[in-house]
Structure 1
């Protein structure tokens, strides 16, 4: 850090790139740190120069910027994922989950994996038109598109921007298979699209439930729906005939892992047909953010939690090796796997993602709002 220049900001300017000013308040945020991203060439340090700032301006608010997308489908080659393509309607996520493995992706935008990730969001309206063009390409080969693999497609800003809805509309209209992973309640709004697709074998939804403890959920996932509300979402989706998988993720060793069976039982009672679980992942900046959080929130068990995390990842906070990065290794990983298998068998829950049809796809027509060049 010795060679990194430091930029000082005047509190009267209220520059959006500054870190927290003295006295600034956080409400329902996952982290309190906003260290600069790993690719930034400057370190920002906010200094209060004495100018009075109105009380209401002290609260850190959510800012949404709009991006004109040049591409829609993101092709992935990770061998341990159950999909090969995804779409990201948003960058950053207001849910503010402290453990979110997607936080480091904000560094590619020149922003922090800390508060920036949950307060400086990027919406991608118009991506539906781009998607339509990509699906019309002669070389396109159909396979399920995954929504919600990086940040939540049904985070609160979706209510205003409707980007996820626009994507689903395109996929619905051309009978293209889609999987959705979310912890947001706004997915209920789109039952009119998802239910008909599910009836054709074209859609499935995974709902993430990390804990049944509302207080713990509020601390870990400050702007995400409460656990009981997520179970209600599972019930609503199941009643609409949509295959629902409960995603017990991330499982935090020493903090939430004792709830595994209770979560699976509650999800089954709500209508979930299958279940999966992923162990806590702490890549790059997430490691320090989570460690600071657990030490501040649970000082009595922080050392045990972090020791268990390292046991799962070969003595490190995180091991990115394909095949084991989401399960961990060693005795605790084996125990978790055995518990998961026994609970699934007892409850009659399936193992993973349902197979979706790819043979119904129809090449979409041109967007009526755009003119063809020829």
Structure 2
């Protein structure tokens, strides 16, 4: 009988050996043979269809118990069960949307006490590399008050370049409205610029965007995609943004485990990117002298473990040295993707 090793089976199914071991432990995809001495797993080629099915069902968030039922069912029954599951998901989302609308109405009437009398100065540095990619699709803006990173996808760097150029205007333009409104309008212009830059390209294109605007003693953050904004305060690194990926959403809902999320073949699949149909998250972040703000594209945090990144960013060195150290660590990890890191130190 012709068995596939776990490595060969993983490559053929798009799953990592770690994910396959996890699905074996969960009883969803047991190997056809296990060596009694070494415990080494082997699979049959016929199991590839089931492996791909399990991975796809987990990607849409189906609970393990329902996946077992789908896998055990015949073709027509599988279709019925999947359709029934998704009908319930849509009904749940409609109910949650109504609850959110009620909460937003209540929050609109809350008193917000913000203190904007603190003037902060920023010292910043960036490092930017092509990594193992054929083209550099990351873009970065390093201003005096505005700092942005973008990670484009498609055949050219036009979308990412257009996005950061639109945000850069906040460095030199005045605003009369609230900072959040001004940032929202600028992001909308960035989305239009991305759409224009993508219009004549031969394939789908777009970009992520993560930006910080230091204004009125606060950090206004705009974010869409899987770049990240972080704040280092008192040696503790806090992620300010959440990744807009399908895997991250399912992880937060408890529908994927940490191990599944780390090893999933579609872990970088975006469910939001900057275009004229998707809104960015707009956040107001408390900042004070001594804080360090950091922006990264996924070519950085997708390669470095969180503990390693926190250690590098916690260095007392100046931003230029810290950004260089992060870039060196990414390169040491073979830098499979474009990467960008921006380090911003705040002082009174």
Q: Would you say same fold, with TM above 0.5?
A: no
Which structure would you say has the larger RCO, counting Cα contacts within 8 Å and 6 or more residues apart?
A: 2
TM-score relative to the length of structure 2: 0.27
Structure having the larger proportion of residues in helix: 2
User: Which of these two proteins has the greater Rg computed from alpha carbons?
Assistant: 2
TM-score relative to the length of structure 1: 0.26
